[in-house]
Every structure is written in C-alpha cells, then in structure tokens.
Amino acid sequence: MNIAAGRKALVTGGASGIGLEVARQLAAEGAAVALLDLDEEKLAAAAADVGAGTVTVRADVGSPGQVRAAVEGAVDRLGGLDTLVICAGVIHVKPLAEVTEADWDHTLDVNLKGAFLCCQAAESALRASRRGRIVTISSDAGRRGVPHLLAYSASKFGLVGLTESLAAELAPSVTVNTVCPVGVPTTGMGQQLLSWKTEHTGQDADRVLSGIANAIPMARNGTASDVANAVLYFVSEAASFITGVSLDVDGGSRLNTLPGAAE
Ligand SMILES: NC(=O)c1ccc[n+]([C@@H]2O[C@H](COP(=O)([O-])OP(=O)(O)OC[C@H]3O[C@@H](n4cnc5c(N)ncnc54)[C@H](O)[C@@H]3O)[C@@H](O)[C@H]2O)c1
C-alpha cells in the first residue's frame, strides 16, 4: 500500500528544490498535492512536473492575509487537508557587521513567522482530519550555530522550538516533527550557498563539493530525496506515534572525532 494513499497535502516552497521533491514523492505515494510558492510561473512548471491534478496557490508566507487565503483555497480544492509540509525558506551569508535589519527581518519573516502563519491557518482542517501531520524543514544550522548564517540559524533553531511546542499543543489529532538536513547543493538555496563558497574560497564547485563530502562520515553530499524520504516517513502511518522529534538527515556530520587523535 502507498504510504501517502488518500492524503491531502499542502507543501510550502513547493515550486523548487526540497519542497518540489517532497511533492513528487507524496504524489507518487498516492497523495493529492497542493503547492504554495511565490512565483506563478515556477508554480505552473512544478505542478506539471508533480502530475495531473496538482493544485497551485500563490502566496508570500510572510503575509498573514495571503497565507489565510492560500490555505483556504488549497483546503477547498483538495476537499480537506491532513498534511502540511513547511519548506519555504530563504538564506543570506554575511558577517554580523553587514547583516541589515531588512536581512534579519526577511529571514525571520519567511523561515519562522511564515511557518507559524501556515500552521495557524491550517490548524482547523488538520485537526478535523484526525490524522493530521505537520513536517517542518529546519537545518543542521537549527541544531548548531554557523558563522555568517546568524539570522538563518536563529530562524531554524526557532523552527525546532515551534515544532516541539505545536507537537505538544496539537496532539493527539496532529503530529508535528522537523527534519534537519545538512547542505543539499542541488536546490535553489544549495546553489546560492555553493556560489558563495566558490567565491569565498577561490575553489571550483567540484573541489568545494568533494571537500564537503570528505567531512561527512557517509562520504557524500545530501540530496533532496534524502530529505523527502524522511518527510514521507513522518507522514506515513508507521510514524503515527512519533511527534515533537527533530531528525538529523546529515550523513553523520554532527558526529565528533576523537579530540587530539586527528592525523
Ligand atoms: N539546500 C540546503 O542546503 C538546505 C539545507 C538545510 C535546510 N534547507 C531548508 O530546506 C527548505 C527548502 O529549501 P531548498 O534548499 O529547497 O531551496 P529552494 O530555494 O530551492 O526552495 C525554497 C522555495 O521557497 C520559496 N519561497 C521563498 N520565500 C518565500 C515566501 N516568502 N513565500 C512563499 N515561498 C517562498 C522559493 O520561491 C522556493 O521555491 C528551506 O527551508 C531551507 O532552509 C535547505
């Protein structure tokens, strides 16, 4: 049996990268899917990719009015909602002295306030389904601080707190979990970070990527399907007793080496 059979799912940030891969996997596993994103053109292309019947709703997740209208539209067109996956996100890379108030506000508005607004707008439909699922995408930067990613890291730590608090509040009708991926260089955000790293180090992209893979115990970079696989697990019936969990999808990169033993 398909693990998302009969589900009605809304994926924010669903027009690109991890969100698009989550939407593809949900549809392949039997879900009806709605994609929420900023750009109509990107949304139309993503819907064609995910498959016939895919619903699209355009909204800025930082705008309460747009989010309410988009979630209502998705619930109407899907005939209900039992799954919400929060993937919309932005990043910038700057040292403390260069981070502007606008940089800080935009990052927190999209990554954290946007998640709160989407969960709030979807709450009644998710509760009514009695088998609700919320899965948020945090980051390895939501588990450990990272230089030059101050606002991003703060927003992703915040998402872990939002996820745990909602898990406690929405049980037993809705489970709420988060996935914390290490870098996925193929997505829009992944490419943005890779360009910054090539400029910053003067190395070409292949060299940067092999350096990252060498630092990860599982010896490769992360992929959008690694992340989507974890999301689909949280959506599945097999995870119906799991809530408030942060799952690292990082190839073991958080693990330490024996201090003083490096050759
Ligand atoms: N790629 C990585 O290395 C990585 C690692 C860890 C976590 N993540 C997280 O995964 C999620 C997906 O990112 P991705 O890597 O697929 O990047 P991406 O840029 O490919 O996708 C992000 C999507 O969010 C949408 N978006 C941005 N601002 C929005 C707004 N205000 N309203 C609605 N939609 C908006 C974009 O249009 C885009 O389609 C993000 O939350 C990101 O923080 C990514």
Instruction: Identify the three-state secondary structure at position 139.
Output: coil
State the catalytic residue, choosing from 152, 157, 187, 212. Answer: 152
What are the extents of the domains in the chain? Answer: 8-183+223-248, 185-221
CATH of domain 8-183+223-248: 3.40.50.720
Q: Is the CB of 158 under 6 A from ligand 1?
A: no
Residue 223 has a CB neighbour count (10 Å cut-off) of 18
pLDDT tier at 256, thresholds 50, 70, 90: confident
In sign, the C-alpha dihedral spanning 108, 234, 83, 171 is negative
Rg of the Cα atoms in the chain: 18
Tell me the β-bridge partners of 218: none
**Nearest alpha carbon to residue 237 among 175, 180, 181, 179:** 175
Give 162-181 pLDDT, tens digit per residue: 999 999 999 999 999 999 99
- Ligand 1 center to residue 137 CA distance, Å? 9
Give the percent of the chain with pLDDT over 90: 97
pTM above 0.95, yes or no: yes
Residue 222, ligand 1, Cβ within 6 A: no
Amino acid at 73: G
**For 187-220, how does the pLDDT look when each residue is reduced to its tens digit (9 = 90+)?**
999 999 999 999 999 999 999 999 999 999 999 9
CB distance 15 to ligand 1 below 6 Å: yes
Candidates 107, 108, 154, 112; CA nearest to 136 is 112
How many whole angstroms separate alpha carbon 140 and alpha carbon 38?
25
112, two tokens: 């954290």
Neighbour count for residue 261 (Cβ, 10 Å)? 6
CA-21 nearest atom, ligand 1: 16
Q: Reading across the β-sheet that carries 132-137, which strands appear in turn? A: 55-58, 32-37, 8-12, 83-86, 132-137, 174-181, 246-249
